[in-house]
């Protein structure tokens, strides 16, 4: 920069004596430009923080919505299972009722015949009168038992009615739960679209701000050089004026001292002369010190101007980095520490609600040993991140279909495969419980494959997951 000034590269700087008024006006314009630049940087940083806070709130809402969706999925599965059990019970009760009704038909028919036509019944019996009397006595004794059987049969009929009412209520609860689950899915979709829109706007504003900053930096380069040159000229003029004032003051003091010495004795005059010489030397020393101070001030002004320029550029870069981090869902204007993965053993939620149908270390249908576990889920089930982390891979991968890899730190990675849609991008930071995808709707029994790796080696993920109510075995 100093070489350019010395070489006279700029036509403005090449002028031997610039107009002070024009230079001062130019200086004020440059200072206004710098103040505006700093203000714009502050606004960009403030907006980046606001965007980060908004994305943080959306992330919390998405975690809550995903948790509610999974709870509704689990409740729906339980209600459907209970409904199947009620239907089986209904079939058993109805069969038993039918069998008991058939058993009583013959007995009731015989009793009715004896009651309506007892003489004919006795004549029609192909047995002795004693046997006929004995049969009548036995039938009379069977009447109380038949009456108790009738009461039991009535109780069975009432129980069957209550069972069918329970089935009707269970179907109503299933319908209400399905409606609530559909609402949670719609809410998740709305939150995802809102987050994507905010990220798009933030990225567009960041790129526009970065373009403006590059343009302003280019325009301010020549002005910055002019500011340095004008500051040097101003400091030099101030130093010369200060030295001139100091010299005049010293001369006046010397003249007064000389006149006073003249009025006094010759010795006093000599003493005054020596004091005048000492004062002259002090004045010269002060002038030199002022010149040195002026030079230091000029250099400090140049350093301050350069520091302000570097601070402005650094603030711009920091604002851009903050906005980009918000677009990638860094979700923090200041660095965040990732929770310890080792301390989460046995506390992490299942990535999806369902039944464990394949365990770690078991051979599959073709004899290959499984390196993870498989969870049978509902159609369209919600999938979440089991722990805080950062997306290392998201997309199709051979043999896995759609694959999501989450890095948790401490050498741990989670692999999730089998989803119909992934709602996470590479580089995105995830909070525990944050939705990352959904299972398929067209499959009869969707299955989510979960694999946990440490330092690249697969480990059993089941001990790391918290127990769930419907956890089964494969």
Burial class (CB in 10 A: 0-12, 13-18, 19+), 178: middle
Residues 449 and 364 in one domain: yes
CA 334 to chain centre: 14
By residue range, what is the domain housing residue 63?
A: 1-233+295-336
pLDDT in tens, 28-52: 776 777 678 778 767 776 776 777 7
| Same domain (yes/no): 351, 225 | no
Within-domain flag for 245 = no
Kindly report the backbone phi and psi dihedral angles of residue 363, in degrees, each rounded to the nearest multiple of 5, phi listed first: -75, 145
- pLDDT tens for residues 122-169? 555 555 666 666 666 666 666 677 777 777 777 778 777 887 788 888
Does 271 fall in a domain? no
Shared domain for 331 and 424, answered yes or no, is no
**Which contiguous run of DSSP H or E holds residue 226?**
helix 129-263
Mean of the pLDDT values across residues 360-370? 87
Q: Which of these ranges, 98-102, 322-326, 447-451, has the smallest mean pLDDT?
A: 322-326
Among 65-69, 89-93, 358-362, the range of highest mean pLDDT = 358-362
DSSP per position, 19-54: -HHHHHHHHHHHHHHHHHHHHHHHHHHHHHHHHHHH
Residue 394 CA: distances (Å) to CA of 109, 400, 420: 76, 12, 12
304 & 355 share domain: no
Considering the domain boundaries, does residue 26 fall inside one?
Answer: yes
Residue 349's nearest CA partner among 125, 86, 74, 99 is: 74
Q: Assess whether 209 and 193 both reside in one domain.
A: yes
Last residue of a domain, one of 311, 336, 361: 336
Report the alpha-carbon angle 312-4-306, nearest 5. 20
Question: Are 143 and 95 part of one and the same domain?
Answer: yes
Q: Is pLDDT above 80 for 203?
A: no
In order of 100, 133, 152, 312, the CA distances from 456 in angstroms are 66, 92, 67, 44
Last residue of a domain, one of 336, 369, 386: 336
Please say if the pLDDT value at position 434 is more than 70. yes
Asked whether the beta carbons of 424 and 407 are under 8 A apart, the reply is no
Q: Which of 243, 222, 241, 244 shows the shortest CA–CA distance to 233?
A: 241
Q: Which residues pair with 416 in a beta bridge?
A: 404, 450
3 state SS of 17: coil
Q: Is residue 270 in a domain? A: no
The reply to whether 266 falls in a domain is no
Indicate if 309 and 394 belong to the same structural domain: no
Task: Choose the final residue of a domain: 336, 362, 390.
Answer: 336
Tokens of 228: 């340095």
Length of the chain: 474
**311 and 369 in one domain?**
no
443 vs 439: CA distance, rounded Å: 9
Compute the C-alpha angle 89/95/99, nearest 5°. Answer: 145
Is it the case that residue 332 has pLDDT exceeding 60? no
Cβ atoms of 246 and 293 within 8 Å: the answer is no
Q: Residue 357 is part of a domain; what is its CATH number?
A: 2.70.70.10
Higher-confidence position of 4 and 422: 422
């Amino acid at each position: 920069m100093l070489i350019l000034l010395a070489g006279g590269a700029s036509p403005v700087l090449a002028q031997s004596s610039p107009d002070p008024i024009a230079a001062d006006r130019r200086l004020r314009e440059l200072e206004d430009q710098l103040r505006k630049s700093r203000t714009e940087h502050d606004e960009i940083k403030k907006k980046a923080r606001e965007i980060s806070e908004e994305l943080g709130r959306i992330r919390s809402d998405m975690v809550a919505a995903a948790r509610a969706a999974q709870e509704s999925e689990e409740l729906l599965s339980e209600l459907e299972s209970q409904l199947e059990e009620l239907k089986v019970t209904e079939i058993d009760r109805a069969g038993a009722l039918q069998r008991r009704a058939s058993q009583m038909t013959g007995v009731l028919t015989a009793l009715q015949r004896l009651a309506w036509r007892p003489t004919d019944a006795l004549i029609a019996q192909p047995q002795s009168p004693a046997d006929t009397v004995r049969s009548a006595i036995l039938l009379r004794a069977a009447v109380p038992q038949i009456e108790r059987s009738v009461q039991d049969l009535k109780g069975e009929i009432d129980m069957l009615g209550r069972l069918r009412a329970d089935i009707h209520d269970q179907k109503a609860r299933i319908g209400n739960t399905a409606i609530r689950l559909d609402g949670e899915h719609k809410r998740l979709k709305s939150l995802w679209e809102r987050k994507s829109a905010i990220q798009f706007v933030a990225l567009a504003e960041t790129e526009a701000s970065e373009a403006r900053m590059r343009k302003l930096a280019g325009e301010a380069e020549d002005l910055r050089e002019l500011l340095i040159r004008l500051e040097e000229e101003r400091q030099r003029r101030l130093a010369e004026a200060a030295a001139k004032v100091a010299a005049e003051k010293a001369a006046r003091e010397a003249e007064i001292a000389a006149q006073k010495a003249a009025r006094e004795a010759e010795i006093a005059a000599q003493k005054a002369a020596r004091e005048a010489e000492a004062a002259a030397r002090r004045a010269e020393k002060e002038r030199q010190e002022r010149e040195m101070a002026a030079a230091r001030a000029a250099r400090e002004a140049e350093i301050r101007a350069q520091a302000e320029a570097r601070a402005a550029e650094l603030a711009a870069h920091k604002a851009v980095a903050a906005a980009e981090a918000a677009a990638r869902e860094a979700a923090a204007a200041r660095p965040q520490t990732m929770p310890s993965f080792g301390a989460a053993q046995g506390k992490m939620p299942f990535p999806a609600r369902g039944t464990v149908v394949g365990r770690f270390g078991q051979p599959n249908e073709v004899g290959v040993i499984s390196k993870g576990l498989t969870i049978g889920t509902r159609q369209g089930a919600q999938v979440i991140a089991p722990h805080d982390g950062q997306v290392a891979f998201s997309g199709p991968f051979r043999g896995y279909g759609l694959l999501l890899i989450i890095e948790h730190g401490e050498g741990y990675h989670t692999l999730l495969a089998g989803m119909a849609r992934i709602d996470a991008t590479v580089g995105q930071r995830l909070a525990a419980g944050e939705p990352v995808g959904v299972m398929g709707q067209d499959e009869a029994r969707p299955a989510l494959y979960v694999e946990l790796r440490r330092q690249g080696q697969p480990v059993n993920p089941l001990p790391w997951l918290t127990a769930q109510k419907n956890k089964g075995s494969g």
